[in-house]
Structure 1
Amino acid sequence: MKTHVKALVVGGGAVGASIAYHLARAGWSDVMLLERDELTSGSTWHAAGLLPLFNMGYATGHIHDYSVKFYKTLEEETGLNPGFAVVGNLRMAQCQERMDEYMLYASTAETLGIPYEFLSPAQIRERWPLVRTEDLQGALFHPTDGYINPADVTQAMAKGARQRGVEIVRRWQVDGYEWTGAEWKVSVTKMVEKGGNLVASDETAVITAEHVVTATGNHAQRTAALLGIKIPAIPVEHQFIVTEPDPALVDYRKTHGEHPVLRDADALWYVREERGGWILGPYERNAPARFAYGVPDSFRADLFPLDLDRIEAEYMSFIHRIPSSESVGLKDDFNGPICYTPDGNPLVGPAPGLRNMWLAEGFSFGITAAGGTGYYLAQMMVEGEAEIDMAALDPKRYGSWMTTEYAVKKNEECYEHVFILHHPDEERPAARPLRTDPAYDRQQALGAQFGCVNGWERPNYYAPQGFDDHDARSFRRGGWWQYAVDEARAIREGVGLIDATAFTKHVVKGPGATQFLDWFTCNKLPKVGRINLTYALTAAGTTRTEYTIVRLGEDEYYLVSAGAWSAYDADYLRKAAEEKAGEFGYIEIQDVTSQWGVLAIAGPKSRDVLNEIVKDADPATVLSNKRFPWLSMRNIELGMCPVRAIRVAYTGELGWELHHPIEMQRYLWDQLMQAGAKHGMKPVGARAQNWLRQEKSYRAFGTELGRDATPLEADLPRFVDLSKEFHGKPEMQEKGIRSKCCTLLIDGPEDADPWGREALYLDGEKVGRLTSGGYSVAFGKSIGMGYVKPDLAVPGTRLKVRMFNDLWDAEVVVDSPYDPKNETIRKDG
């Protein structure tokens, strides 16, 4: 066994084997994979091996697509057959709303180039007569999908890794990690079998590694404890049953090919053929999480007792859908732990607070994701960034506020929601409310319907008391839509108040702060008392973070960024500052997110409302352009509340962000609502704000802005100062303009708007995709933002957008189609 390697991969399941393979294929010749037991002895061995090719996540969709294509090449390279049955994947729908979901799936699949076709009940019956179809609306069929043998594909990847020089070592367990400042010292212990259990021997060793990747599956909590971090990957029981041969199926197969993987999402199960019988895998309610604090030493390739009562409804619906199965007996059953995360996405990327430590944990669909995870994680490690934006999978999307109990509740909920309708306006209830700002109760009393951002409760919209947000959800214009329209109009025509407390907020100060931020971000730094919008880039020149920078002093700055990405932004900021401290001098960074509340007031009457309560020697002029110009900051007093007021509005109207001591928020909220009453002020939620920012072509991080596009491709040259040197500049310039962001007005269906996941076409050719979508109150039609080929990002270009399986007219418009000269936002008073 080597004692020094370039990269050490910990975990010998499908994910670990793929990472080791792809690191070697990417050029790292000195790679070791360490497994505490045997390869595939974790959840890989009892996985059903399904390959659900596509889901609604853009990054995850790419990962699954790569896996499916990659697995088809393994036999030629390694000589080992991974057992890939390309039988297709049939997603059946019992109701029109499920078909609406599939049509959104399909349009998003087109953005990745994934083939599909829609089938009617009659077409399903004609192809697969064993399936009952009279109560179906139809189905979505992915012909290139199928299933694979988990153990075989893992062994094939392991052989491919060995052929490329990877050393695979079994029966060694990691017991400690120590960072020396340049590399990791990993303490390991030889494991031996005694009485059927795996126990530690007296033989130990230390492996030194420049990089470590953990792919420890169900043992993620042990990994977290060894590293001193939080990893919200906790297993949930998943059971599936295998039937005896079905005579009707055996007879059918004499003259027909194999059935596709069948998914009756409304019945909460999947089914595939297995040796003349069926495998039924339900995603039932009340499946419990297990091993919240670690896997017992006695648990190896073990299973839990089957709980047939828990899956009785799913089993009966399986018999209903495939009537020939009613008389077939059960041959085998499995109930094993499968890791989940609170949102269902795996945790892939740099570990929080640690250098050269990479996580690949929390895979609920590990066989499907293994190939692509290895490929894209290897890109991140070897090249510095992946070719797709991996932020949605970043381990730092959960902050230090996350606890074990939270992860347990959310992971159980996530399992239960695998086949629940995934509305784009979905809000899941488990572990909520948790993080609330002081005005929460006030907003709730006004009918706020809350969404959850990084654990924070944030109003999505306001509705009458007794309104049911769950019933209001839809793939079209839901029951909440008119309320959001009214809120958007209130800001365009009058005044609205938005709770933006979830914004991430950092103070950066010290002798090295100015030089550091000038290098760290791509725009000019503002003068004292002024603000600038700017971007921190990745090493690949793409957009890593968007900041509003407020300069409080010569060497003191207040940075505001997206609320969903607090830990993600903090980690990158701190690591960058540590790297440059020797060059620039002392830099102090404080995360003050929970110390400062933010209420944003916007609209033509916003100044009138603030004038009611502002305290100043000359209150009539304190908010005027002369004393308080656009894109500036002033410390003001609103009643008894000191406020760091920033004259900027994400809605594109006259307005201010009112940053205040969070303990005074309830007082400030009451003052503003009382002052705003005579001006008709409405509380406004995030959905209306999202529509309004699209009318101004304001890019949002996580949609238009991400690690797969540069600020220049986002068409933001005015925020890039090419006269200075900054991190990622050469790489940004080298990339050029591969695609370009633009805004489109859309003549879509009367009852629907785009969600920002749809494909764009010109003359039948796919030329781009939407990244945001919604409704424009200013133009009375749908609106969207997205990326197209550069030569098409020109006002007047007419395209088509795929919505509900039809193509609708869309026109590229000027940037900031509403008030392109920013006259309303600069309004004096």
Structure 2
Amino acid sequence: MKTHVKALVVGGGAVGTSIAYHLARAGWSDVMLVERDELTSGSTWHAAGLLPLFNMSYASSHIHDYSVRFYKTLEEETGLNPGFAVVGNLRMAQSRARMDEYQLYATTAETVGIPHEFLSPAQIRERWPLVRTEDLVGAIFHPTDGYINPADVTMAMAKGARQRGVAIERKWQADGFDWKGDHWEVTLTKMIEKGGNLVASDEQVVVSAEHVVTASGNHAQRTAGMLGIKLPAIPVEHQFIVTEPDPALVEYRKSHGEHPVLRDVDARWYVREERGGWILGPYEDGAPARFRYGVPDSFRADLFPLDLERIEQEYMDFIHRIPSTETVGLKDDFNGPICYTPDGNPLIGPAPGLRNMWLAEGFSFGITAAGGAGHYLAQMMVDGEAEIDMASLDPKRYGDWMTSEYATRKNEETYPFLLKLHWPDEERPACRPLRTAPAYDRQRALGAQFGQVNGWERPNYYGPADAPEGFDETTFSFRRGGWWQYAVEEARAIREGVGLIDATAFTKHVVKGPGATQFLDWFTCNKLPKVGRINLTYALTVAGTTRTEYTIVRLAEDEYYLVSAGAWTAYDADYLRKAAADKAPEFGYIEIQDVTTQWGVFAIAGPKSRDVLNQIVKDAAPETVLSNKRFPWLSMRNIELGMCPVRAIRVAYTGELGWELHHPIEMQNYLWDQLMEAGANHGMKLVGARAQNWLRQEKSYRAFGTELGRDATPLEADLPRFVDLSKEFHGKGALEEMGIRSKCCTLLIDGPEDADPWGREALYLDGTKVGRLTSGGYSVAFGKSIGMGYVKPELAVPGTRLKVRMFDQLWDAEVTEDSPYDPRNEAIRKDG
């Protein structure tokens, strides 16, 4: 066994072998993979091997698409047949809402290049007569996917890795990770067979590795414990059954090719052929999580008892859909653990707080994702960044507030949700409320319907005061849901009067110390503000793309207050701290404090916002304290609102006159009551996040996670005014070398009367795809749909007429000027 390697991969399932293979293919010749048992002995061995391309995540769609294409090349390279049956995948719909979901997904698939077609019930029946169709609305069909043999594809990747120089060692368990400042020392223990169990021997080896990747599958909690981190990857039981041969299917196959994989998602099951019979896999309610704190040493390639009562309804629905199966007996059954995460997406990327430690955990679709996960993780490790934005899959999207109880309950919720309708405006109820700001109860009493952001409860909109707490699916829709009209009224209130938004979930850091100024000047691409002023700026990746967006408030010469997106607290903190630690020897001492939970934030905006604040501001000259002269746009002042000290920032994400009121969290209810009392005299309306999202698009304000991400530079986002090329900053060379591959723009859209874009839609010119939306919504200022997205640079000019795909139709869209609402910023600069 090697004792010194460039990269050590821990875990020999499909994901681990793919990572080892792709690292070697990317040029890292000194790679070793270790597996505590045999290759494929985890969830890989009992996986059904399906390769569904359908995924509502843009990043995951790329990953799945890569896997499907990659697996088709393995036999030629390795001589091993991975058992890929390209039979296609038929995803059926029993309702119009389900077809809406498919059509929303399909436009995302078009931006990735995934082929698909829509079928009517008659077309389904004509092609596949075994399927009952009278209660179907239609289906989406993917002709290029199907299913694969999980063990065979893993062995093919393992052989391909060996051919490229990867060492693969079986029966070695990772028992300790020790960071030595520039490399990891990993303690490996030899595992031996004893009485049918796998037990640790006395033989140990310490391997020195510059990089370590964990792909430990069901053992993720043990891995997390050894690394001292938290991972919400906990397995849930998944069972599937294999039937005896179905005579009708056997007869069908005499004159037809293999039947496609079927998914009756409204009935929550999948089915595929298996030697003349069928494999049925349900996603039923009540499937329990297992191994919350780790996998027992005695558990190897084992299974749990089948719980047929739990899947009785899904089994009966299977018989309904394929009537010939009613008299077919059961041949075999499987009930094994498959790892999940609270949002169903895997954890791929750098481990929080650790150097050169990479995670590839929590794969509920491990076979489908393995190829792409290995490809894009290898890009991150070798090149510094992947070609697609992997932020949505980053392990740090869950912070230290996450517990094993939370992960367990959310993963049990996620499992049946896999085949439920994925409303783009959905809010899932498990483990809520959890993180609440003090004003939560006051807001709820006034009709707030909450969304969850990084565990925080944040008002999405305000309905009637006597409305039940959210999660009512009647409000969800792929078109304009029950919340839409409330959001319209809220957006109009800010444009015409005044509105109050709770923005407490914002991420907040203090950066200070002798090295703070030099560090932030290098860390971000814009000029640093003067004391008492603010700037919008970006931290870049090594590839020159956007890693994080910050509003920087300069509190003193060497003290700064950084505000960033609420969904990314741990993600931002980790990058900031690691970068500061790297540069401290050069710049001097840098102190970083995460103060997110110490400061609440209310955003007040609208033409009457100054009038509201003037009623409660305490100053020797209260009539002028909020004037342009004393409190100009893009500045910060410490003011007093009643008895509450407030760090007020004159900026508004809505593009109207307004302030962010950062206040001590313990005084939030007092400040809320003061604002509500003063606001009542001016018709102030409470406003949620959905209206705010529409308003910021009218101002062409880019948002991190949509327009801003690790697949585009700030210059491609068309933000040159926030990039100071006269100074040196992290990622500058790569940014300049990248050029402008595509460009961000704002579009006004003449869409359907009952729907707005969601920011996932493809854009066309003369029938050719030329870009995609990244955000979408409704504009109260223009009375039509609005969106932001990326197109070819030559098309990102006002007046360009394009088409946007919505509900399988093309609708007119026109590129407008940046900030189509109030392009001169007269409203936001309003004096008084």
Corresponding residue for 1:229?
Answer: 229
Question: How far apart, CA to CA, are the structure 2 residues paired with 1:116 and 1:621?
Answer: 62
Q: Does 1:348 align with 2:351?
A: no
Query: In the alignment, which residue of structure 2 is the partner of 1:601?
Result: 604
2:498 maps to what in 1? Answer: 495
- CA drift at 1:466: 2.3
In the alignment, is the contact (CA less than 8 A) between 1:236 and 1:287 conserved in 2? yes
1:721 matched to which residue of 2? 724
Aligned counterparts of 1:734 and 1:261: Cα–Cα separation in 2: 45
How far residue 690 of structure 1 moved from its aligned partner, in angstroms, is 0.1
Tell me, in whole angstroms, the C-alpha distance in 2 between the residues paired with 1:408 and 1:142.
33
1:196 and 1:285 map into 2 onto residues whose CA distance is 34
Is the contact made by 1:507 and 1:590 (CA closer than 8 Å) also made in structure 2? Answer: yes
Task: Provide the C-alpha distance between the structure 1 equivalents of 2:249 and 2:189, rounded to a whole number of angstroms.
Answer: 50
Which residue does the alignment assign to 2:202?
Answer: 202
1:165-176 matches, cutoff 5 A: 165-176=165-176
Q: Give the corresponding residue for 2:467.
A: 466
Once residues 637 and 715 of structure 2 are traced to their aligned partners in structure 1, the CA distance between those partners, rounded to angstroms, is 31
Q: Distance in 1 between matches of 2:102 and 2:786?
A: 22
Structure 2 counterpart SS, 1:423: coil
CA distance in 2, matches of 1:50, 1:470: 29
Is the contact made by 1:54 and 1:65 (CA closer than 8 Å) also made in structure 2?
no
Aligned equivalents of 2:152, 2:726: Cα separation in 1: 55
In structure 1, what is the Cα distance between the partners aligned to 2:261 and 2:460?
A: 37
1:551 deviation in Å? Answer: 0.1
> Superposed, which structure 2 residues align to 1:388-787 within 5 Å?
388-464=388-464, 465-467=466-468, 469-787=472-790
SS in 2 for 1:594: helix
Whole-Å Cα distance in 2 between the matches of residues 262 and 363 of structure 1? 22
**Residues 1:157 and 2:160 are matched in the alignment:** no
Corresponding residue for residue 219 of structure 1:
219
Secondary structure of 1:146's aligned partner: coil
Runs of 4+ in 1 over 4 A off after TM superposition: none
Shift of 1:145: 1.1
Counterparts of residues 102-117 of structure 1 (less than 5 Å) = 102-117=102-117
| Equivalent position SS for 1:130 | coil
Shift of 1:470: 2.3
| Distance of 2:586 and 2:627 partners within structure 1 | 42
* CA distance in 1 between partners of 2:614 and 2:652 (Å): 18
| Offset at residue 230 of structure 1 (A) | 0.4
Determine if the alignment matches structure 1 residue 245 to structure 2 residue 248.
no
DSSP-derived class of the 1:560 partner: strand
**How large is the RMSD of aligned CA atoms in angstroms?**
0.5
Secondary structure of 2:596's aligned partner: coil
Residue aligned with 1:126, SS: helix
Measure, in 2, the Cα distance between the counterparts of 1:548 and 1:232: 30
**Equivalent AA in structure 2 for residue 640 of structure 1:** M
Report the Cα distance in structure 1 between the residues aligned to 2:559 and 2:511, rounded to whole angstroms: 6
Output the amino acid matched with 1:497.
L
Q: Structure 1 residue 678: deviation in Å? A: 1.1
CA–CA distance in structure 1, aligned partners of residues 442 and 204 of structure 2: 59
Q: Secondary structure at the match of 1:147?
A: coil
Where does 1:217-366 land on structure 2 (aligned, <5 Å)?
217-366=217-366
Aligned to 2:15: 15
The alpha-carbon deviation at position 124 of structure 1 amounts to 0.1
Q: Tell me by how many angstroms 1:353 deviates.
A: 0.1
Unaligned runs of 5+ in 2: none
Between the aligned partners of 1:421 and 1:544, the Cα distance in structure 2 is: 31
Which residue in the other structure is 1:133 paired with? 133
Tell me how far apart the structure 2 counterparts of residues 264 and 565 of structure 1 sit (CA, whole Å).
35
**SS of the counterpart of 1:313?**
helix
Pick from 815, 821, 825 the counterpart of residue 812 of structure 1.
815
State the partner residue of 1:3: 3
Question: Number of aligned pairs?
Answer: 829
Cα deviation digits, residues 187-208 of structure 1 (max 9, x gap): 0110000010000001111000
What TM-score, normalized by structure 2, do the two folds share?
A: 0.99
The aligned amino acid for 2:288 is P
Cα deviation for residue 471 of structure 1 reads 1.2
TM-superposed deviation, 1:54: 2.7
Once residues 466 and 593 of structure 1 are traced to their aligned partners in structure 2, the CA distance between those partners, rounded to angstroms, is 30
Q: Distance in 2 between matches of 1:346 and 1:434?
A: 23
Distance in 1 (CA, whole Å) between partners of 2:579 and 2:54 is 35
Q: 2:203 and 2:467 mapped to 1: Cα distance?
A: 65
What is the aligned-residue identity percentage?
87
AA of the residue aligned to 1:811: E
For 1:789, which of 773, 786, 792 is the aligned residue? 792
> Hey, what's the Cα distance between the residues in 2 that align with 1:145 and 1:186?
39
Please give the alpha-carbon distance, in whole angstroms, between the structure 2 residues aligned to 1:460 and 1:597.
Answer: 17
Amino acid at match of 1:32: M
1:346-390, Cα deviation, whole Å (9 max, x unpaired): 000000000000000000000000000000000000000000000
Question: Within 2, Cα distance between the matches of 1:257 and 1:671?
Answer: 71
Residues in 2 aligned to 1:558 and 1:568: alpha-carbon distance in whole angstroms = 17
Q: Which runs of 5+ in 1 are unaligned?
A: none
AA of the residue aligned to 1:491: I
Give secondary structure in 2 for the equivalent of 1:673: helix
Cα distance between partner residues in 2 of 1:66 and 1:241:
29
Cα distance in 1 for residues equivalent to 2:628 and 2:230: 47
Q: Which amino acid aligns with 1:82?
A: P
Q: Aligned partners of 2:717, 2:646: CA distance in 1, in Å?
A: 33
2:68 counterpart residue number:
68
> Where does residue 383 of structure 1 map in the other structure?
383
